[in-house]
Structure 1
Amino acid sequence: MKKNMGNADRVIRTIIALIAAYLYFGGIVTGTWGIVLVVVAAVFLLTSLVSFCPLYAIVGLKTCATKE
């Protein structure tokens, strides 16, 4: 797995995951939408930790800096 996510992308995904977790565990979003939100937050957090997004790999997108 080669890294395909840049630092800005990783930070944005982490912030979104933290906001989603706050919304769910704060009781603001509940039920099915809450569970979907937690799953999306977990995926965002996991992909930002490993710096690899499978969807980016399928599409051929890279947000990380390349060395020349």
Structure 2
Amino acid sequence: MKPNMGSADRAIRVAVALVVGILIAMGILKGALAIVAGVLAGVFVLTSVVSFCPLYLPFKLSTYKTK
């Protein structure tokens, strides 16, 4: 897999995942919404770790800066 996510993109995804995790832990997000948001937050963290987002491929998007 060729990286297609830049550092700013990755940082934003991790920040959003942290906010979602905090909202779930505080009980603000509950039920099915909490499950869906939690899964999405997990996907955000996973894609940030590997620097690859499969949804960018069909649109030929990349925020990764080559040297």
* TM-score, structure 2 as length reference: 0.95
Alignment gaps of 5+ in structure 1: none
Describe the superposition over 1:16-61 as per-residue Cα deviations: whole angstroms up to 9, x where unpaired. Answer: 0000011111111100001011001000000001000000112110
What pairs up with 1:15-30 in 2 under 5 angstroms? Answer: 15-30=15-30
Percent identity between the aligned chains?
54
Aligned to 2:46: 46
Corresponding residue pairs, total: 67
Q: Tell me the SS of whatever aligns to 2:47.
A: helix
Deviation at 1:66, TM superposition (A): 2.1
* TM-score, structure 1 as length reference: 0.94
Runs of 4+ that moved beyond 4 A:
none
Alignment gaps of 5+ in structure 2: none
> What is the aligned-residue RMSD (CA, Å)?
0.7
Counterparts of 1:37 and 1:22, CA distance in 2 = 11
Aligned to 2:3: 3
